[in-house]
Amino acid sequence: MRDLLHDYFDGRLTRRTFFSRLMATGLTAAAAKSVVEAADFGTMPEAPPAAPAFSGTGGELLVEQIKAAGSKYIFTNPGSLEVAFFDALVDRPELEVVVGLHEGIVIGMADAYHKVSRQPTFVNVHAAVGTAQMAGQLYNAHFDGSGLIVTAGMSDNTIGSDDMVLAPRPGFSQSEINRQFTKIAWDVRTGSSTALAIRRAYKLAATPPGGPVYVAFSTRALTEQVKGDVLPKEAFLFEARPRAAADQVQRAARLLVEAKRPVALLGDEVFKADATAAAVALCEMLGLPIVTPNLPGFNYLSAAHPQYLGTRFGGDRPYPYSGADLIIQIGSRESGGAPDSSGDAPRYIAVGLDTNMMGRTRGLDLAVVGDVKSTVADLTAAVNALVTRDRLTRIRDERMAVIRPAVAAANAERLAQARKTFNQPVIHPDQLGYEMEQCLEKNALLVTENAPGLQGKHDFLSYGPRPDQKQNIGHGGGSLGWGVGASVGAKLAAPDRQVVLSIGDGSVMYSGGGFWSMARHQTAVLTIVWNNHNYQTVRNGAYRYNKRMTETGKYPGLYLGDPDIDFVKLAESQGVQGERVTSASDIATALKKGTAATRAGNPYLLEFVVSRTGGGAESTWYQKVRPGGARTATSTLM
């Protein structure tokens, strides 16, 4: 920019050319205009000091730039190809290394840390094989648009042999392995480019709509002696909060006011933009019934909210549960819980920054493209400017006269049905969920990896849009193995909140080595394992298929008993204490004991043996696969 200014002041650039070249550097039009105007009026502030030139290894340059980017934690499973990177960390203790024993656990930790902190989060995994092993959790992070900067060491298969251990296979590059689960991925083979590459990675990962960025660094890039610039984060990380066009906002406000049966679909972008309280307030002001996606990355609405319909819309029930004439989608994807109306197609408004999630499968009447937080504020102001306070009150009251009794009746029926399951010989999931609401702290942060309504029952938890209320993070991608690591990352991001991992037995075993990280890093997470000895979500799907599995009661591979997994011993072997609970009368006592342990700074696990629910719940069948015969001492390999 300094050279551009010199050329402009010396008359070698016209005003238009100066503006165009500023835009080419990556500035927004508004920012470029501000620079031009400041230069014209002689008020341009002094140029920032030149970036400090750093001399050292490529790994040291990389670490210096990570530090300058504002990262506090390095989430990693270390490997031998990254030794120059880890060597550089020894003298920089302000970068704290958080270790997971499998790459999937590492990504889960980083993903939840990012979701709670809203900060771009750095990850290092090991070589091509570690890159492959993280795929399931990188899928989740990409699905949810999490801003992760994922790096790995790389054996360069373009020099000498192309068939090396831990390297990409011959003819392939390492960045190709998980490219579809990233915003962008590339390989870096030159040490002097390490800082530049990581700056780009941070910028791309953090710019909405966010997502993982992957960079592989060759051994040479990390070990060779180089000189390079280290820039402060302000030079490449910036807030991208563009405002929506005023005419679009005004049109949306008019449609919301004039609709007879509107419904709002609130998605994950609302939480990411820190707009939860404002979005809920807008819905409350207008009397909009609220729907959320079926598998949200964030949950900030209680089932007890008088306008919350849950995750299901459509079918034969009357409005507000179906029959909308207007749907406004705010910061949400269309799939995975988007309302499906019956009868005449409703008018449809989409609001948000991620245009990739707008108009994918249905036509739109209006797309309002802009930052969710500022757009919700502008919508609120536009509605208030459009109608008088008295008319707005009448609109809200007329809508709530229909919505409130319908939602209240549904909630009363749900509670009545749940109470019928209390104090059974085997703990019913409804009772465990009910007791969690009574015993957990008012602002507990839940990290959930179990299917809502199928195993973990969170219907009774009083989630809310503010940090002083219970809130929930999960993942929308559906790839198991996220939860245990995620709870560690969430606790690091929210050390002053109670963090509760609510997880199914099958999910635990995808990341069973994660309790070691809880103990090592003293993350005081309360883990609640819902052990029903079953892949229940899959079994329910098999039952609905209604063919041979349903007829015979045989569900291959889905019963997880015989032998039973002892989750308390699993956790204790890694340094986390716990207990097994089998009686409904002991639920509250156990939850209070676990909460006390975490308040004292220790992670704690509660294994609740719960009943299976849904079709085929009684089945304990599994196929008994055994070796052909007893092995004798004289058996030999042929």
Per-residue model confidence (pLDDT) at position 632? 63
Beta-strand pair 225-229/53-57: antiparallel
- pLDDT (average), residues 128-152: 97
Residue type, 334: E
- pLDDT (average), residues 459-488: 94
- Residue 4 pLDDT > 70: no
CA 386 to chain centroid: 36
CATH number of 246-411: 3.40.50.1220
Per-residue model confidence (pLDDT) at position 337? 43
- Residue 98 pLDDT > 50: yes
Angle at Cα 185 formed by Cα 181 and Cα 186, nearest 5°? Answer: 155
CA 169 to chain centroid: 31
Nearest in space to 272 (alpha carbons), one of 457, 451, 499, 119: 119
* 50-78 pLDDT tens trace: 556 899 999 999 999 999 999 999 999 99
- What's the pLDDT band for 13 if we cut at 50, 70, 90? confident
- What's the pLDDT band for 26 if we cut at 50, 70, 90? low
Instruction: Give every CB contact of residue 471 below 8 A, 6+ residues apart in sequence.
Output: 298, 299, 300, 443, 445, 446, 463, 464
Identity of the highest mean pLDDT range in 31-40, 313-322, 461-470, 623-632: 461-470
The Cα 374–Cα 239 span in angstroms is 13
| Of the listed ranges 13-17, 339-343, 557-561, 609-613, the one predicted with least confidence | 339-343
The Cα 602–Cα 462 span in angstroms is 25
Residue type, 86: F
The Cα 450–Cα 138 span in angstroms is 19
H helices of 194-273, in order, are 194-206, 219-223, 246-258, 268-272
Please, are residues 363 and 348 in contact by the beta-carbon 8 Å criterion?
yes
DSSP letter assigned to residue 71: -
CATH number of 429-609: 3.40.50.970
The Cα 297–Cα 448 span in angstroms is 10
- What's the pLDDT band for 9 if we cut at 50, 70, 90? very low
Residues facing 308 on adjacent strands: 290
- Residue 42 pLDDT > 50: no
- Terminal alpha carbon distance of the chain: 73
Residue for token pair 């991992």: 501
The Cα 119–Cα 73 span in angstroms is 11
| Of the listed ranges 332-336, 532-536, 621-625, the one predicted with least confidence | 332-336
Nearest in space to 74 (alpha carbons), one of 58, 89, 57, 96: 96
Per-residue model confidence (pLDDT) at position 6? 46
The Cα 340–Cα 464 span in angstroms is 25
Please, are residues 54 and 228 in contact by the beta-carbon 8 Å criterion?
yes
The Cα 273–Cα 118 span in angstroms is 9
Identity of the highest mean pLDDT range in 280-289, 349-358, 624-633: 280-289
- Residue 43 pLDDT > 80: no
The Cα 508–Cα 528 span in angstroms is 10
The Cα 147–Cα 183 span in angstroms is 10
- Residue 295 pLDDT > 60: yes
- Residue 457 pLDDT > 80: no
Per-residue model confidence (pLDDT) at position 336? 41
The Cα 635–Cα 624 span in angstroms is 23
- pLDDT (average), residues 389-395: 98
Angle at Cα 114 formed by Cα 108 and Cα 118, nearest 5°? Answer: 160
Q: Whole-number mean pLDDT of the chain?
A: 90
SS3 string of 256-310? Answer: HHHCCCEEEEECHHHHHCCCHHHHHHHHHHHCCCEECCCCCCEECCCCCCCCEEE
Please, are residues 487 and 523 in contact by the beta-carbon 8 Å criterion?
yes
Residue for token pair 């709670």: 116
- pLDDT (average), residues 572-599: 99
Tokens of 58: 């490529």
- pLDDT (average), residues 342-352: 82
Instruction: Name the more confident of 5 and 470.
Output: 470
Per-residue model confidence (pLDDT) at position 16? 76
- Residue 227 pLDDT > 80: yes
- Residue 23 pLDDT > 70: no
Tokens of 554: 């045989």
Class (C level, CATH) for 53-235: alpha beta
The Cα 515–Cα 528 span in angstroms is 13
Distance of CA 496 to CAs 465, 490, 608, Å?
18, 11, 26
Please, are residues 369 and 244 in contact by the beta-carbon 8 Å criterion?
yes
Q: Could you tell me what percent of the chain has a pLDDT over 70?
A: 88
Torsional class of 271: left (φ above 0), alpha (ψ -120 to 50), beta (otherwise): alpha
Nearest in space to 139 (alpha carbons), one of 101, 188, 103: 103
H helices of 301-449, in order, are 372-386, 389-419, 429-439
- pTM (2 decimals)? 0.89
The Cα 495–Cα 564 span in angstroms is 34
* 154-209 pLDDT tens trace: 988 677 677 767 777 787 888 999 999 999 999 999 999 999 999 999 999 999 99
The Cα 17–Cα 3 span in angstroms is 13
Phi, psi (rounded to 5 degrees) for 243: -85, 150
Beta strands in 161-211 (DSSP E): 184-188
CA 210 to chain centroid: 11
Per-residue model confidence (pLDDT) at position 1? 52
The Cα 194–Cα 564 span in angstroms is 49
- Residue 35 pLDDT > 70: no
Nearest in space to 35 (alpha carbons), one of 46, 48, 22: 22
Hey, do 53-235 and 246-411 end up sharing a CATH topology, with the first three levels equal? Answer: yes
* 491-502 pLDDT tens trace: 999 999 999 999
Tokens of 177: 């392995």
- What's the pLDDT band for 33 if we cut at 50, 70, 90? low
Distance of CA 604 to CAs 271, 577, 598, Å?
28, 5, 7
What is the residue-wise DSSP string for 315-343? Answer: SSSPTTSS--SEEEEES--STTT-----S
Half-sphere exposure of 530 (CA within 13 A, CB side): 33
What ranges do the domains of the chain cover? Answer: 2-40, 53-235, 246-411, 429-609
Per-residue model confidence (pLDDT) at position 518? 98
